[in-house]
Amino acid sequence: MSEKKRITPAAAALTVVCLLVIGALIAFDLFLSGRECKEQTVAMDTVVTVTVNGRKSKNTAEKICQLVSTLEKENFSRYISGSDVYKTNSSKGSSVEVGSSTVDCINAAIKVSEASHGAFDITAGGIVSLWGIGTDSERVPSQAEIDLALASVNYKAIAVSGSSVSLSGGSVIDLGAIGKGAACDEIRKVLEEAGAQRCVAAVGGSVLLYGDGEFSVGIRDPFGKADDCIGSLKLNACCVSTSGSYERFFRQDGKKYHHIFDARTGYPAESGLASVTVVADSGVYSDALSTACFILGYENSLDLLKEFHAQAVFVTDNGEIKITDGLAGNFERKN
């Protein structure tokens, strides 16, 4: 008969301790992977709010805030000396080496310029400066001034070859209508690298929804206060951008002058819309298209949206809400 092995009290105690330690480690791991962290900063002339879930969520959220500031300083700002856009605007036609995020952004902008027949045009910098909306020098310029500034608006003056960009004809690049969306695309890369589970990153009116499952995004009431919503969209991972005439404007003689210009006329767009929210796979397109659709108006935007496989919610000047077919079931109106 074989001898029975006895478990000593010490061995039993050790087993219990080991199981407790393993349990604690699993619980800690689950805790870390589900942990949510929120960070906020001001960059690109707007508020950036990032909420990340997953391991190292604090570190990732901080990295993202830093990234948006860097993109502003090194790539997209036309006002910060040394940025890609600043260098291109000052290059007097010679070619400039720029970063890959600048190249991606400019190439996407050119596509939207072509598709919108020049209503959207990132070389409208001269028009943006002339009106000075949101600055101390905002004013209604004379027709002669507008004509002069319009002469330099021409996206065809931009030539991109690999990582070189050149700009001719005195044009001035302004990425105000696309840079925040481009930042969302760069943020997605950081999240992928960090193995983040879920993230909502809002760079002003451009929002990246990242990760599995459903998100709910409120659409601001263009006639209400900053936190009033007309409704919300239920969406899976994507990018959402809103352009509206309520963001930056001034009034003169009872007329409202806002910051989204029809690049073909040099005047603030009057297309019967108060806001447009565009849903697309990428940030560059959601941002550029929301501006382009705002300029073109509801009817003229439908083909443009189709071309870029994007969807939109339009709010007209009289408060009517119009939704493209692909989003109709996702929108919930607030009563």
What residue ranges bind ligand ADP (CB under 6 A)?
A: 120-122, 124, 128, 174, 176-177, 180, 204-205, 243, 247, 259-261, 263, 287, 290-291, 295
Q: Report d(CA 324, CA 309) in Å as an integer.
A: 11
Closer by beta carbon to Mg ion, 197 or else 241: 241
The yes or no reply on residue 177 touching Mg ion (CB under 5 A) is yes
Q: Report d(CA 171, CA 191) in Å as an integer.
A: 35
Residue 92 C-beta: closest distance to ligand ADP, Å: 22
Considering only 72, 74, 247, 287, the residue that binds Mg ion (CB under 5 A) is 287
Q: DSSP readout, 123-182? A: TBHHHHHHH-TTSTT-----HHHHHHHHTT--GGGEEEETTEEEE-TT-B---TTTHHHH
Total count of residues recorded for the chain: 335
Residue 323 C-beta: closest distance to ligand ADP, Å: 19
Amino acid (one-letter) located at 51 = T
Q: Strands, DSSP E only, in the chain?
A: 36-43, 46-53, 96-97, 158-161, 164-167, 198-203, 206-211, 215-220, 229-235, 238-244, 249-252, 255-258, 261-262, 267-268, 273-280, 311-316, 321-323, 331-333
The yes or no reply on residue 149 touching Mg ion (CB under 5 A) is no
CA 27 to chain centre: 36
Closer by beta carbon to ligand ADP, 61 or else 127: 127
For residue 115, the SS3 value is helix
The yes or no reply on residue 245 touching Mg ion (CB under 5 A) is no
Span of 14-22, 119-127, 150-158, 170-178 interacting with Mg ion by CB under 5 A: 170-178
The yes or no reply on residue 284 touching Mg ion (CB under 5 A) is no
Span of 123-131, 211-219, 220-228, 243-251 interacting with Mg ion by CB under 5 A: 243-251
Taken in order 252, 258, 264, 270, the sign of the CA dihedral is: negative
Residue 121 C-beta: closest distance to ligand ADP, Å: 5
The yes or no reply on residue 247 touching Mg ion (CB under 5 A) is no
Considering only 291, 311, 324, 330, the residue that binds Mg ion (CB under 5 A) is 291
The two three-digit tokens of residue 27, written as one number: 């619980």
Closer by beta carbon to ligand ADP, 54 or else 179: 179
E strand or H helix that includes residue 202:
strand 198-203
Closer by beta carbon to Mg ion, 231 or else 283: 283
Closer by beta carbon to ligand ADP, 96 or else 295: 295
Closer by beta carbon to Mg ion, 52 or else 305: 305
Chain residues binding Mg ion by CB under 5 A are: 177, 243, 287, 290-291
